């Protein structure tokens, strides 16, 4: 799924949306909140929304669903304009229905736009069925999974009734996962990158990459903006995390330039199959 036409509709300060297979619209750029807690999380979410973001990603495992919900409520933007993703962790799969209700209570925003399974586990199908029931009950609107690759996706899909709308995986220039991404997209599922800028402890080295810096200089952009634009031109949604308002604004200001085919190829050549997280 390449967003060529969609990206043409984007303007700095606000991301265009794609139509998920669930029928709902989701922005192609959002804020990741993995490392955000307390007032920092509340203020970052609020700042992101006030600066044009309409997609916020959290998870039970992050321990910040309450703060994310507070940031959404304090943003001044109508709830229905904001798309919130959260996730069930494997230690919740055995009581998934209860865990979904707990997430709803912590977020306190009325409903969950998308609930993901955080990664595969022996009882992931049963947990996903609880998400399907929550969709029927109006508690959740769309379902998805995270850290599912070709084998995991092919095993999982025949066992569920509602096709996942999204697969969220580690994707960045040093771990491009192109074969997996193409396979998932070919099934009609959208792909989203967590760690689009390399992840904890790896971002600085990635942003100092000579090739990325050269391409950034040509466009008058930052290496981070080049990476995020590269993802979008491959049809990959991005959720970079930050508590710095300048960086938050920078990360969504990627709709006034386009990478050439030659630049896309140069970035493709950076792949090292270098995974930065355990799954």
Q: Taking Cα atoms as reference points, which of 103, 107, 51 lies closest to residue 79?
A: 107
Length of the chain measured in residues: 279
Does residue 62 carry a catalytic annotation? yes
Residues facing 19 on adjacent strands: 25
Nearest to 173 by CA among 258, 251, 231, 252: 231
Which of 53, 62, 148, 175 is labelled catalytic?
A: 62
Measured between alpha carbons, how far is 238 from 203 in angstroms, rounded to an integer?
Answer: 15
Nearest to 84 by CA among 247, 239, 253, 254: 239
Q: Which helix (H) or strand (E) holds 226?
A: helix 223-233
Q: Which residues are catalytic?
A: 62
């Amino acid at each position: 799924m390449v967003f060529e036409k969609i990206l043409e509709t984007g303007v700095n300060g606000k991301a265009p949306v794609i139509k998920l297979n669930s029928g709902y619209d989701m922005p192609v750029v959002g804020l990741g909140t993995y490392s955000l807690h307390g007032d920092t999380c509340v203020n970052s979410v609020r700042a992101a929304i006030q600066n044009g973001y309409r997609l916020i990603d959290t998870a039970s495992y992050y321990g910040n669903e309450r703060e994310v919900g507070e940031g959404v409520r304090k943003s001044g933007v109508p709830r229905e304009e904001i798309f919130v993703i959260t996730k069930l962790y494997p230690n919740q799969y055995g009581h998934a229905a209860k865990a979904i209700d707990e997430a709803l209570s912590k977020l306190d925003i009325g409903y969950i736009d998308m609930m993901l399974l955080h990664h595969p586990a022996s009882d992931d199908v049963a947990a996903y069925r609880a998400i399907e029931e929550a969709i029927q009950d109006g508690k959740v609107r769309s379902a998805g999974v995270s850290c599912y690759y070709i084998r995991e996706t092919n095993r999982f899909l025949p066992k569920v009734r509602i096709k996942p709308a999204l697969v969220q995986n580690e994707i960045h220039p040093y771990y491009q996962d192109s074969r997996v991404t193409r396979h998932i997209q070919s099934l009609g599922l959208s792909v989203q990158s967590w760690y689009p800028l390399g992840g904890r402890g790896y971002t600085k080295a990635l942003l100092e990459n000579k090739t990325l810096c050269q391409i950034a200089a040509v466009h008058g952009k930052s290496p981070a903006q080049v990476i995020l634009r590269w993802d979008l031109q491959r049809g990959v949604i991005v959720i970079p995390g930050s508590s710095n308002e300048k960086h938050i604004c920078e990360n969504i200001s990627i709709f006034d330039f386009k990478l050439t085919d030659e630049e896309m190829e140069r970035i493709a050549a950076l792949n090292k199959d270098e995974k930065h997280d355990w799954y």
